[in-house]
Amino acid sequence: MVKLLKDNEFLKFIKDGDKLLVGGFGMSGTPLTLIDGLAASSKKELTVVSNNLGEVDKGLGKLLNKNILKKAIGSYFTTNRDAVKAWSEGELEIELIPQGTLAEAVRCGGAGIGGFYTKTAVGTKLAEGKEEKVIDGERYILEKGIKGDVSLIKAHKADRIGNLVYDHTGRNFNPVMATASKIVIAEVDEIVENGSLLPTEIVTPHIYVDYIVMSKYVKKGGVFVETV
C-alpha cells in the first residue's frame, strides 16, 4: 500500500535547492494543500517546473511571495503579475518553454529519453544556445528531457495502493509529472478501496506514486475553497 502522510509530513522529502515538478494548468489540477504546506515552511532556493505560477497569492503564487523560489521553468507566467515583477527586478529566474514542448520534455524525462528535436521556437530567442539540426530540409532544435527531485501532483481519487484517477481537466500535466521525479507525492480528494477503480479509468499506476496527502480543498462555484 502507498503511504498516507499527515499534515506537512511530506516536507521532509524536499530539500533546499530541489527541482520540483508541480502539476496544474491555471488553478485546475494544482496541489493546493501541498503548496500551502510548502509556503509555510522554511525551504529555499527551489526550482519549480510548472505550466504557470498560479495567480496572485494563490497556488504557486504563494511560494513566490514567500521568496522560496529561485527559478521557474514553464510557459504562462503572465497569469501572475507578481511573477513578472519578480523577474523584472532580478528576484526570480525564469526559463520559458512552449507549452507542448514542456509537456513532451517532462514525458521524455519520465521515459528515460534524453531529448527530442522540435520545430517549435526555431529562429526565436527561445532557441538561442540550443543545438540545431536540419531534418528533411527543415530546421529543428534539440530540447532536453526534464527530470525532477520531487513531483507534487493532484488527483481526484486514489485507491489504497496508489492508483490515481483525475477530474476532467485536472488531469493536464499531472500524469507526465508523476513519471519524472525520484519521489512522487499525490494530493487527492478521496481514497477508495482497492478494486473500486476500473482498470480502464486508472491514469497513473501505483508504481509511480510514493506518498499520498489528503486535500483540504473543495471546489464550490468554480472556486477552490479550503475546508479545514
**Torsion over CA: 217, 23, 193, 198 (sign):** positive
User: CA 86, CA 77: separation in Å to the nearest integer?
Assistant: 11
Neighbouring CB atoms inside 10 A of 117's CB total: 15
Backbone torsions φ then ψ of 40, nearest 5 degrees: -90, 0
How far, in Å, CA of 205 to CA of 161, rounded? 9
Through-space distance between the first and last CA atoms of the chain, rounded to whole angstroms: 26
Domain range for 183 is: 3-226
The total number of structural domains that make up the chain: 1
55-73 average pLDDT score: 94
Distance between CA atoms of residues 27 and 53, nearest Å: 9
Burial of 119 (C-beta count, 10 Å sphere; 0-12/13-18/19+)? exposed
Instruction: Please report the pLDDT score of residue 210 as a whole number.
Output: 98
Angle (CA) 74 78 82, round 5°: 100
Confidence of residue 219 (pLDDT cuts 50, 70, 90): confident
Q: State residue 221's pLDDT score.
A: 74
In this prediction, residue 228 has a pLDDT band, given cuts at 50, 70 and 90, of low
Residue 108: predicted pLDDT = 98
- Residue whose C-alpha cell is 513531483: 151
Q: Which residues contact 126 (CB under 8 A, 6 or more apart)?
A: 96, 97, 98
Query: Residue 220 — pLDDT band, cuts 50, 70, 90?
Result: confident
Assign residue 118 the CATH number of its domain.
3.40.1080.10
Query: Can you say whether the dihedral through the CA atoms of 144, 105, 62, 151 is positive or negative?
Result: negative
